[in-house]
Structure 1
Amino acid sequence: MHKSAANPFKKTRRFADFYAEWFDALERTLLPLLRDSLSSSSSSSSTSVQLSAAVHALHCHLQSYYSALNLAASSSSADQLPRLLCPPWRNSLERPFLFLGDLHPYVFTTLLRSLIENDGDDSDDEGAGVFLEDDCNQLSGRPWQVLTAWKNPSKHTISRMEQIECGVRLMVPALWDRAKAEQAHFADRVADQWMKASSKKKETMATVGKAAAAAAQGLAGVFLDANRLRKSVLADIMSATNLYQAGLFLEALAQFLVGLRDPELLEKFQHCPVKMR
């Protein structure tokens, strides 16, 4: 009998490996390529082609990640879905920025808004922006098309940004409400059936298993929709910006992801004293 090819994301451990490789390509290949393209001093058409290719490659890389995440969620069993919703491969600095398993959509719109609001700001505040100190040095010497990309953006661009932000503000609470409803339904169903079958261990375990499977299916649907929202927001931002604006946004997003995994920054965060109130 013919056997179908094994799904690469049948086990979430496989997805953790995939994410490590995906992140390595982002940090070591695609982000440096985009930075080099943004820093090119030539105004030739070949430079624009190079930047366009770098922007397209990084955008596709981000989209491929969410497609892979959806595939992993669709292929996961009930006991593995929680690992995707609360991924153990994310460090303690990344987790506060997660929403239903991955980056909160507000991160995209907030980074975008920071580019608009902070453009032309000459403040020496060492905490400004999303770049680490060493990375800020790479912004000098860039061509004027890049340096002025977010200076006085058109009314159309601002309007599109506001539309994207409005859409995110509407969708995020709706997704969160659905997730909470699925969790509440799971708890109610288990509690009800547990009492009815409490005298029979096998029946109790079977009931809990069925409730968990039903809850996993419902939560998987919310998880998939959250990833569709993330993909949609990224695509909308790409369509609403010109080449240089899109390049700077993707650079900020990629550096944000890389920065959250910076060993020195992570160590400082983990050893930061927190006052309990």
Structure 2
Amino acid sequence: MMKSLLNRFKNSHSFKDFYTDWIKTLKSTLLPLLTNSLSSSSPDPLLLSTQLDLLHKHFNSYFSALDLASNDDVSQLLFPDWRNPIEKPFLWLGDFHPYIFTNLLRSFFDDDDDDDVDSDECDDGKRFHSMGKAWNVWKCPDVSLGHIVEQMECGLRLMVPSIAARSRDAQAALVEKLGVGWREKGENFEVGEVIHELVDDMTCVFMDANRLRRSVLADIMGALNVYQAAIFFHSLAQFYVGFWDNKLLTQFNNSKLTLD
């Protein structure tokens, strides 16, 4: 019901077109550049820094486009028919859950907990393995990434339930106002004003959720050195691009598996 009501104010500007082009640029241009740099036996930190800046700006352009699209038609983000079935279980209020960012970051240094690394091997984070394995740049004594991630996740534990509660409250208020209106006025009840309030409320909720995603990613970027950030953003880009792998989608569509 909520989707159909929101769609009453829908216009012709589709976010799907932007997302398709955004993923294409990420897959065909930015990700291969970073992959080539990380495949080098001795990556140039200045080149990595430049490529990271381009990649971070690309993600920020995505978040900015989400904000614009929510003002244009928030229903296409909250109820995205254009998302493929593999993406949808990972979505939270219109886009990927911010916990994905922190979980991805934590996976690198959690995987290295059993490795023995001398401090001499942490010089500028330049001890690394072949491409396809995480560089061993996560255990330098001057970097407490575990503590940083815990602080991020503490903030998420406060913000995520708060934003989700606002979404539930907006939907509950809609149902209550519609019920009262129909009981009092019947067929003469005009739902337009009530729907406008819902659209405004849900747009604000979505933009705050999107702001949280952008903030977490910026905090991660600021906490990492250039080598760590290169690994993180390379994996994050692979995560986004991977959902649109034709072979994976074909295998999923041909299987009987469903994701709810």
Q: TM-score range by the shorter chain?
A: 0.7 to 0.9
CA distance in structure 2 between the aligned counterparts of 1:119 and 1:258, rounded to whole angstroms: 26
Residue 105 of structure 1 contacts residue 229 of structure 1 at CA under 8 Å; is this kept in 2? yes
Which structure 1 residue ranges, 5 or more long, are not aligned?
1-9, 123-138
Distance 1:117 1:156, change over 3 A: closer
Residue 125 of structure 2 aligns with which residue? none
Question: SS of the counterpart of 1:261?
Answer: coil
Residue 12 of structure 1 contacts residue 83 of structure 1 at CA under 8 Å; is this kept in 2? no
Residue 12 of structure 1 contacts residue 84 of structure 1 at CA under 8 Å; is this kept in 2? no
Residue 45 of structure 2 contacts residue 227 of structure 2 at CA under 8 Å; is this kept in 1? no
Residue 105 of structure 2 contacts residue 232 of structure 2 at CA under 8 Å; is this kept in 1? yes
Residue 113 of structure 1 aligns with which residue? 106
RMSD: 2.4
CA distance in structure 1 between the aligned counterparts of 2:135 and 2:177, rounded to whole angstroms: 57
CA distance in structure 2 between the aligned counterparts of 1:274 and 1:101, rounded to whole angstroms: 23
Superposed displacement of residue 148, structure 1: 1.5
Match of 1:161 among 129, 135, 149: 149
Superposed displacement of residue 48, structure 1: 1.2
Deviations 1:76-132 (A, max 9, x none): 2xxx3211212222100000000000001111111111111124889xxxxxxxxxx
Residue 54 of structure 1 aligns with which residue? 51
CA distance in structure 2 between the aligned counterparts of 1:11 and 1:115, rounded to whole angstroms: 43
- TM-score, normalised by the number of residues in structure 1: 0.78
How much identity, in percent, do the aligned residues show?
45
Equivalences for residues 117-266 of structure 1 within 5 A: 117-119=110-112, 141-142=130-131, 147-151=135-139, 154=142, 156-198=144-186, 201=187, 203-204=188-189, 206=190, 208-266=191-249
CA distance in structure 2 between the aligned counterparts of 1:16 and 1:273, rounded to whole angstroms: 26
Greater displacement, 244-253 / 153-162: 153-162
Which structure 2 residue ranges, 5 or more long, are not aligned?
1-9, 116-127
Size of the aligned set, in residue pairs, is 236
Residue 106 of structure 2 contacts residue 146 of structure 2 at CA under 8 Å; is this kept in 1? no
Superposed displacement of residue 140, structure 1: 6.2
Residue 73 of structure 1 contacts residue 81 of structure 1 at CA under 8 Å; is this kept in 2? yes
Distance 1:153 1:262, change over 3 A: farther
Q: Which amino acid aligns with 1:32?
A: P
Q: Which amino acid aligns with 1:65?
A: Y
Residue 182 of structure 1 contacts residue 215 of structure 1 at CA under 8 Å; is this kept in 2? yes
CA distance in structure 2 between the aligned counterparts of 1:70 and 1:121, rounded to whole angstroms: 42
Residue 17 of structure 2 aligns with which residue? 17
CA distance in structure 2 between the aligned counterparts of 1:98 and 1:11, rounded to whole angstroms: 23
CA distance in structure 2 between the aligned counterparts of 1:195 and 1:241, rounded to whole angstroms: 58
